[in-house]
């Protein structure tokens, strides 16, 4: 019986290694597609802009939707940024879609009155429930929207004044459903955690979105910093709340209906990165769970659609990319056990795992490094942030695995929004402010995994499985860092601030 269990575990370990190899190698596919497509994407963007400027510009009616929930620290910054948009006021409508349960609603009222007096068509639409969460708020706002096009900004974003003038020209192509811009970072250098996040986000926008757009593959609206054609939203079935990633869900439904999405890499929409590990976890948990929910919902339709086989394969990898985390976690859990109880399999396990981990680590790392080189003149100085991404990216595997299991088991759960604190400068702090997440007992599991991975490192040294040591050390550091930050945040006290005011 023990032999059967061992062989079963080895088989599962081999399958996990093959999965890691597949997802890792697909990063090189993205790099190849980007190298082939990025000039074409930029040339197309330039041509569209030049045509717009050379002709008599038309200014269609635009509704700007601002979905918010308990955003006392960043609400004013958001509304002021939207009010600075260079666009005829007669053709601009602003909706503050407020589901707040704290002082945010009271703070929004004087802001709305202020900008109404300045000639803006701005409304505050407050719901006394959170039915459908963000998707429900967007759908409710859409029933009152008058715009032909819908721009969406989350509370932590600060769009540039020329945002609409640089995105709307693409809608001259009647097949375009949505235009997505690249996310920037307001507080990239605040901490090692924000450096790691910025590095990862740059990889997605700097390489993946450009590659998918240029190659005609399925891509996605990222939930903020984009503009939708109202007709496309309605044609695709509108906003639906049966997944936690309503943006990804609508994107795929629109593309299945024959619409196209456009990515504009040179238009940057800055946002505030989460500064708490608990905030990063909740954001990643939502993205991981929602992407698997969307995969369960829409992959059967994708596979049945009249699409090239390569497009279908890339859609599968795109929607299931977060499966990397349970695969890595499973590998980390199995290695110490296999090394201890099956000495004869150490060499086989070491070689198999090393190949898969090299692909799963070096592939994404190459993509992230390439993105820095493409996006920033000082890219060499930015490379020092890569270790932070590798550490935090591996340490969050337990939290993301929990999210994926919930999605696979149809565990619903609430939409946990990522708290924002208006952190823009190194001297700013979140300590003592509202919205601190409650302590998560999952942190103790991460701490236990750090100890377990450390024990696995000891076994690898003792058994001579030297190829596994870097991998196990990375997991030891990753789980220890994530658990340590989470426990530290849990010890901070929340101090109730004085009632704020947004009155001019």
Question: What residues are annotated to the active site?
Answer: 99, 247
Are 2 and 337 a contacting pair, CB within 8 Å?
Answer: no
Which DSSP letter does residue 236 get?
Answer: T
Are 338 and 345 a contacting pair, CB within 8 Å?
Answer: yes
Query: Degrees (nearest 5) of the Cα angle 44, 47, 50?
Result: 150
What the block records as the tokens of 360 is 């799963």
Of residues 184, 320, 308, the one with CA closest to residue 248: 320
- Alpha carbons 6 and 15: distance in angstroms, whole number: 14
Q: What Cα–Cα distance (Å) separates residue 71 from each residue in 78, 154, 363, 372, 458?
A: 10, 10, 37, 31, 47
The DSSP line for 379-413 is HHHHGGGHHHHHHHHHHTHHHHHHHHHHHHTT---
Are 162 and 399 a contacting pair, CB within 8 Å?
Answer: no
The DSSP line for 107-123 is HHHHHHHHHHHTT-EEE
Angle between helices 386-395 and 346-375 (to 10 degrees): 130
86: Cβ–Cβ under 8 A, 6 or more apart, which residues?
Answer: 161, 162, 164, 165
- Alpha carbons 391 and 280: distance in angstroms, whole number: 14
Phi and psi dihedrals of 190, rounded to 5?
Answer: -65, -40
Residue with tokens 């996990």: 16
Backbone angle region of 464, left / alpha / beta, with phi > 0 → left and psi within -120 to 50 → alpha: left
Would you call 410 exposed, middle or buried from its count of C-beta atoms within 10 A (0-12, 13-18, 19+)? exposed
Residue 354, SS3 per DSSP: helix
Listed in sequence order, the DSSP H helices in 236-276 are 246-256
Residue 278, SS3 per DSSP: helix
């Amino acid at each position: 019986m023990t032999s059967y269990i061992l062989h079963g575990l080895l088989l599962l370990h081999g399958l996990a290694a093959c999965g890691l190899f597949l997802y890792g190698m697909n990063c090189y596919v993205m790099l190849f597609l980007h190298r082939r497509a990025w000039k074409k994407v930029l040339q197309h963007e330039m041509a569209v802009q030049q045509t717009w400027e050379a002709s008599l510009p038309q200014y269609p009616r635009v509704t700007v939707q601002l979905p918010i929930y308990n955003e006392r620290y960043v609400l004013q910054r958001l509304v002021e940024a939207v009010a600075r948009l260079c666009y005829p006021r007669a053709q601009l409508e602003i909706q503050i879609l407020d589901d707040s349960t704290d002082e945010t609603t009271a703070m929004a009222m004087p802001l709305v009155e202020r900008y109404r007096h300045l000639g803006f068509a701005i409304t505050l639409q407050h719901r006394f429930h959170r039915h459908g969460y963000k998707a429900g708020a967007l759908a409710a706002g859409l029933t009152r929207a008058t715009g032909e096009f819908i721009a969406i900004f989350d509370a932590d974003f600060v769009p540039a004044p020329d945002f609409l003038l640089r995105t709307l020209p693409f809608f001259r192509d009647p097949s375009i459903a949505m235009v997505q811009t690249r996310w920037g970072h307001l507080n990239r250098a605040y901490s090692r955690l924000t450096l790691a996040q910025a590095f990862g986000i740059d990889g997605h926008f700097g390489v993946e979105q450009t590659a998918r757009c240029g190659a005609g593959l399925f891509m996605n609206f990222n939930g903020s910093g984009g503009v939708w054609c109202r007709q496309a939203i309605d044609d695709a079935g509108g906003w639906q709340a049966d997944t936690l990633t309503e943006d990804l869900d609508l994107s795929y439904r629109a593309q299945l209906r024959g619409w196209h999405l456009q990515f504009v890499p040179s238009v940057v929409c800055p946002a505030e990165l989460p500064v708490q590990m608990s905030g990063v976890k909740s954001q990643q948990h939502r993205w991981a769970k929602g992407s698997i929910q969307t995969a369960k919902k829409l992959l059967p339709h994708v596979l049945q659609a009249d699409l090239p086989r390569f497009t279908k394969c890339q859609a599968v990898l795109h929607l299931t990319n977060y499966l990397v985390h349970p695969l890595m976690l499973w590998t980390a859990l199995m290695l110490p056990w296999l090394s201890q109880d099956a000495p004869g399999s150490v060499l086989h396990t070491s070689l198999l795992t090393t190949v898969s981990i090299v692909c799963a680590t070096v592939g994404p790392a190459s993509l992230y490094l390439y993105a820095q080189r493409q996006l920033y003149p000082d890219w060499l100085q930015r490379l020092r942030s890569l270790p932070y991404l590798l550490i935090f990216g591996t340490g969050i595997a337990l939290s993301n695995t929990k999210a994926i299991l919930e999605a696979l088991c149809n565990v619903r759960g609430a939409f946990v929004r990522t708290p924002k604190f208006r952190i823009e400068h190194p001297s700013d702090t979140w300590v003592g402010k509202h919205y601190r997440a409650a302590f998560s007992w999952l942190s103790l599991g991460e701490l236990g995994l750090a100890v377990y991975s450390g024990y696995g490192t000891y076994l690898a040294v003792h058994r001579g499985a030297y190829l596994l040591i870097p991998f196990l050390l990375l997991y030891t550091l990753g789980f220890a860092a994530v658990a340590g930050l989470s426990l530290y945040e849990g010890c901070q006290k929340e101090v109730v601030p004085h009632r704020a005011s947004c009155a001019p």
